[in-house]
Amino acid sequence: MMDNNVEIKKRKRGSKNRKKAWKTVDVEDVEQHLEDVRKDERTGGPVSEVQNQNLFFLEKSGNESAGVSKKRSKLKKQEESDGDDDEEAYVPKKQRFMENLYKQKEEELKAKKAKRSVVNVWGQEELSVPNGYLESTVKRKKIKPNTVNVGKLQGVDAVLKPHPGTSYNPDYDAHQDLLAVAREEEQVKLKDAIKLNNKVKMVSVEQLKKQGDIWLKEMSEVLNKNAESESDSEDGDDDDNVTSRRTKERKTNQQKRRKKLRKLEEKERADAKITNTRVHEVFRLRTLNKEIRKAEKMHAEKMEEKKKQLEESEKTKTKRLSQYKFQEQSVNYKLSEDLCSTLREMKPEGNLIKDRYRSLQRRNIIEVRRPVVPHRRYRRKVVTRRSYLQPTISDFNPTRKKGT
């Protein structure tokens, strides 16, 4: 039996998957010696090879000794820092960067958590630090996609304010303004209707008969005139030719010469006028350049103003999202005779659903649509059966009635 006090040394069993683990020789002394050699090389070489001047120093009084002591302190600090570097483990640059980044993120999250606060129903702050029990009562903002407001009109109210003249008890001036707006709308509609009627004129049967009678009269008159003129022309052709020759008088040489001189003088005057204008334009180059610059500046300013107006109008303008164009609803109005004196006599006008639907179209959220009427895409083909066309016995028997 073995004593309990005796410590049994257990044999260390390591992994034998590498060649280093197979060695049984102690190599610690060799490794220590190699480390000392490397350290001597970093600090200036081994002590046996260092000169006496670098190993020993002479004590001096005054500033010289102070300067030497400072140098010695610097050397000591450098050696200590070198020694510390040897002991510290090497950390890659990427790993250090990632550690700093994680630290920054953790600090930001802590700061956000510290800023959180619980808000009551009226939007007043109750607690500066969030509580676990009250966290479910905190109203959080809804997360919306970035494209939620793309194309939507900004700065336009969903519910437009009605005209003050449409109230049940309107002011006199407001009611008159409303009637003026309605009158303008009706005038525009009448003009459009007149334009369409002028383009497509519908002619009645009576008017067609009248036009036919007028056309016959005109054509008959033309035929009669042509017949009379032909008979007269056959008799007096010879006489006209003789008189025409006699009436035509020839110009003299003097008249021809004067006409020619007149034409040359007119041409010279026109050429002189053109040359004078060109000479004046050459001397007016500076003024012309000023005028051109001024006109270009005015044009650029006008274009900028027009561009700004277009940009402003596009902000509040409904776009054409479909083949149909958006049209504003006509104004609901009542004449002064139809105004009610009490609320009981009033009748509801308009439709709230249609109003909401039109506001969505106005703000470019929904495209303009029209109800599709049921219709056939192809033309219906009608065919009569052969049995319908074939004669029956009743056709040959006149005494027999059909259907018996």
Mean pLDDT of the chain: 78
Give which of 371, 369, 349, 352 is closest to 361, Cα–Cα: 369
Q: For position 4, what pLDDT does the model report?
A: 47
Average pLDDT over residues 92-98: 86
Report if pTM > 0.75: no
Q: Please report which confidence band the pLDDT of residue 212 belongs to, taking 50, 70 and 90 as the band edges.
A: confident
d(CA 141, CA 130): 16
User: 37 and 81, same structural domain?
Assistant: yes
pLDDT at 145 over 80: no
User: 100 and 87, same structural domain?
Assistant: no
Q: For position 189, what pLDDT does the model report?
A: 92
Q: 267: number of CA atoms within 13 Å, CB side?
A: 6
CB 125 within 8 A of CB 117: yes
Tens-place pLDDT, residues 216-272: 888 887 677 666 666 666 555 555 555 555 556 788 899 899 999 999 999 999 999
Work out the percent of the chain whose per-residue pLDDT is above 90: 20
User: 68 and 120, same structural domain?
Assistant: no
Q: Is 132 part of any domain?
A: yes
User: 100 and 62, same structural domain?
Assistant: no
Q: Tell me which of 209, 231, 253 is where a domain ends.
A: 231
Q: Is 33 part of any domain?
A: yes
| b/e 247-278 (16+ beta carbons within 10 angstroms → b) | eeeeeeeeeeeeeeeeeeeeeeeeeeeeeeee
pLDDT at 124 over 90: no
What is the total count of domains within the chain? 3
User: How far is it between the farthest Cα atoms of the chain?
Assistant: 177
User: 80 and 33, same structural domain?
Assistant: yes
Query: Where is pLDDT greater, at 129 or 147?
Result: 147
User: 32 and 76, same structural domain?
Assistant: yes
Tens-place pLDDT, residues 27-73: 788 888 888 888 887 777 777 777 777 666 666 655 555 555 566 66
Q: Is 156 part of any domain?
A: no
Q: Is 5 part of any domain?
A: no
Q: Please report which confidence band the pLDDT of residue 2 belongs to, taking 50, 70 and 90 as the band edges.
A: very low
Give which of 138, 142, 136 is closest to 117, Cα–Cα: 138
Backbone φ, ψ for residue 367 (5° rounding) = -75, 160
User: 84 and 57, same structural domain?
Assistant: yes
Range name among 2-6, 11-15, 94-98 with the lowest pLDDT average: 2-6
The three-point CA angle 181-187-192 to 5° equals 130
pLDDT at 382 over 60: yes
Q: Tell me which of 36, 56, 91 is where a domain ends.
A: 91
Q: Is 59 part of any domain?
A: yes
Q: For position 42, what pLDDT does the model report?
A: 78
Q: For position 38, what pLDDT does the model report?
A: 85
Average pLDDT over residues 380-401: 68
Q: Is 315 part of any domain?
A: no
Q: Please report which confidence band the pLDDT of residue 302 belongs to, taking 50, 70 and 90 as the band edges.
A: very high
Range name among 146-150, 187-191, 211-215, 344-348 with the lowest pLDDT average: 146-150
Q: Which residue segment(s) compose the domain that 223 sits in?
A: 201-231
User: 85 and 61, same structural domain?
Assistant: yes
Query: Where is pLDDT greater, at 127 or 76?
Result: 76
Q: Is 295 part of any domain?
A: no
User: 87 and 105, same structural domain?
Assistant: no
Q: Is 394 part of any domain?
A: no
Q: Please report which confidence band the pLDDT of residue 397 belongs to, taking 50, 70 and 90 as the band edges.
A: low
User: H or E element: which one contains 183?
Assistant: helix 172-199
